[in-house]
Amino acid sequence: MLPSNKYNFKNNIIGGFTAAVIALPLGLAFGVASGMGASAGINGAIILGFIAALFSGTPTQISGPTGPMTVIIASTIITLHNDIRLIATTILLAGILQIVFGVSRIGQFVKYIPYPVVSGFMSGIGVIIIVLQINPFFGVPSEASVIQIFSSLAQNIANINWDSAGISIATLLIMFFTPRKIAQIIPSPLIALFCLTPLSIYLGLDVQTIGEIPQKLPDIITPAISLESYQQIIVLGFTLAVLGSIDTLLTSVVADSITHTKHKPNKELIAQGLGNSVCGLFGAVPGAGATMRTVINIKSGGTNKISGITHSVVIFLVVVFFTPIAEKIPMALLAGILIKVGIDIIDYRFIRVWKSSPGHDLAVMLVVFFVTVFIDLITAVGVGIILSSLLIVYRITRETQITLVNEPLNSLSDDLGSSTRILSINGVFFFGSSIAFERNVNETLDIKRFVIDISNIPFMDLTAIFTLKDIILRLKESNIDIIIVAKKREKIQLLKFNKTGVFDDIRFLENIQQL
């Protein structure tokens, strides 16, 4: 029996309010970590949270700034030299691309990205978030890159601000050791926020705070682009769009598993694209579906988009009425929250099974991880997908069996049995196996008839077809009779490429027993 509409409405309000409690400190933290400022993080939570919920394809999804998206925005700010108009253009492009993804109905294909790539990427982002918070943890000026932070680590430890370190350590203790029963009522980030901010003010600790947060609606930013930056904007926008889509749809899958429902991936991507596009126009931090906030929303009673809209409205009201308090939140407190977020993002599921995982999957995961941490996220995505694709090609090629019967076939009924050879392919006939196919043909002895058996292949690609045509032409020059054993589908496919008449005088059989 389904609960009443009144009960649903009440639970969705409670779910949205609880999600907002979690989203508030995270929005502030992600805004600061991105380099766009605390208000940009909060505005991202409000704008994306409202629009994505309104048009959502996952009713219980809570959207807002996330760790992975924040890391890329931080990289975007550095790449585009903190030019807010170019940054806005990049975020706007990312949103438009997500809408294109949804309209093109490619949302369902995100699940085909190899898991080791996603694992290495997410773990790398988790480590980046942790490392980037080391300096705020110590209360020293922040650095822009992981390598810079590591290179100045000894100096920063020597100059540590113990007030900041104390706040960060206290935050982590609260985040890790708050009893679950209490955390289900009051989330641990909020406990840290409400306990440590007043304590810092009361004790007059020497810590850096968030600073001024505007209490007005953000101004609209006019997008801009230049000849010098358009390539960077396109690459960064595409990276944001892809990562935001993956992050969102993975969260949608988690929501489905809890609620036993089925989300609409393409509709969800359009909703996310609309939200991120508006974020770009208002200079807000873009985001995606947030797993932790979505799960908390569901566990608190959220069942439909009312909860997501409520989450956004609650954050907006907090900004309007409680900004003076938020401005005094210590940066070290946000650093502690983000370190816990980074720890949670790391993919422990893969780490637990790394010893028993296939070697090639582990290699892909490690390569993507180290490229993500020490080079850049854009390169990591490309390297991971390319490396995974090459390894898949290698594995499929190894599984394809190419057998050459290079002995006289005296069992045949006609007088050419002693001069007939058969080359059989069992497996995928594609660019990876076409080289081995050609090599086997070159090993044939002096013959008069050559049988090519492709009746046991699931499919063949264009490279295989062209290789087959080239071999047939070469065999014809030696006056060798050619027979192709193929299913009707492969025969039709070959004859489509018969404009030069290569297959005109070739006999096709449906099975090898017809010889």
Q: What are 196-252's pLDDT values in tens digits? A: 989 998 898 888 887 776 667 788 898 888 778 888 999 999 989 988 998 898 788
Per-residue three-class SS string for 33-98: HHCCCHHHHHHHHHHHHHHHHHCCCCCCCCEECCHHHHHHHHHHHHHCCCCHHHHHHHHHHHHHHH
Cβ–Cβ under 8 Å, residues 107 and 269:
yes
Distances (CA, A) of 127 to 34, 338, 371, 439, 513: 15, 11, 12, 47, 61
Do residue 20 and residue 89 come from a single domain?
yes
Do residue 347 and residue 484 come from a single domain?
no
* Residue 1 pLDDT level (bands cut at 50, 70, 90): very low
Residue 462 lies in a domain: yes
Could you say which of 368, 391, 414 is where a domain stops?
391
216-235: b (≥16 Cβ within 10 Å) or e: eebeebebeeeeebeebbee
Residue 97 lies in a domain: yes
Residue 291 lies in a domain: yes
Q: What are 156-175's pLDDT values in tens digits? A: 888 899 999 999 999 999 98
Q: What are 473-499's pLDDT values in tens digits? A: 888 888 888 889 988 888 888 888 887
Tally the domains of the chain. 2
Cα–Cα distance for residue pair 70/290, rounded to 1 Å: 12
Mean confidence (pLDDT) of the chain: 84
Q: What integer pLDDT is reported at residue 414 of this predicted model? A: 54
Q: Which of 56, 58, 70 is nearest to 26 (CA)?
A: 70
Parent domain of 407 = 401-514
Beta bridge partners of 423: 404, 452
* Residue with the larger pLDDT of the pair 411 and 59: 59
Residue 250 lies in a domain: yes
Cα–Cα distance for residue pair 100/491, rounded to 1 Å: 37
* Residue with the larger pLDDT of the pair 214 and 450: 450
Q: What are 408-418's pLDDT values in tens digits? A: 555 555 555 56
Residue 341 lies in a domain: yes
Q: What are 292-313's pLDDT values in tens digits? A: 788 778 877 788 899 999 999 9
Q: Which of 468, 448, 447 is nearest to 457 (CA)?
A: 468
Q: What are 80-105's pLDDT values in tens digits? A: 988 999 999 999 999 999 999 999 98
* Residue 406 pLDDT level (bands cut at 50, 70, 90): low
Q: What integer pLDDT is reported at residue 408 of this predicted model? A: 58
Q: What integer pLDDT is reported at residue 275 of this predicted model? A: 96
The tokens for 447 are 């013959």
Residue 46 lies in a domain: yes
Residue 332 identity (one-letter amino acid): A
* Residue with the larger pLDDT of the pair 92 and 124: 92
The tokens for 253 are 């899958």
Do residue 80 and residue 137 come from a single domain?
yes
> Domain containing 432 — which CATH number?
3.30.750.24
Residue 131 lies in a domain: yes
**Geometric angle at alpha carbon 297, from 291 and 301, rounded to 5°:** 145
Could you say which of 357, 391, 425 is where a domain stops?
391
Do residue 73 and residue 151 come from a single domain?
yes
Residue 396 lies in a domain: no
Q: Which of 282, 247, 285, 252 is nearest to 267 (CA)?
A: 252
Q: What are 298-352's pLDDT values in tens digits? A: 877 788 899 999 999 989 988 888 778 777 888 888 888 888 878 887 888 888 8
pTM listed for this prediction = 0.70
Could you say which of 369, 391, 413 is where a domain stops?
391
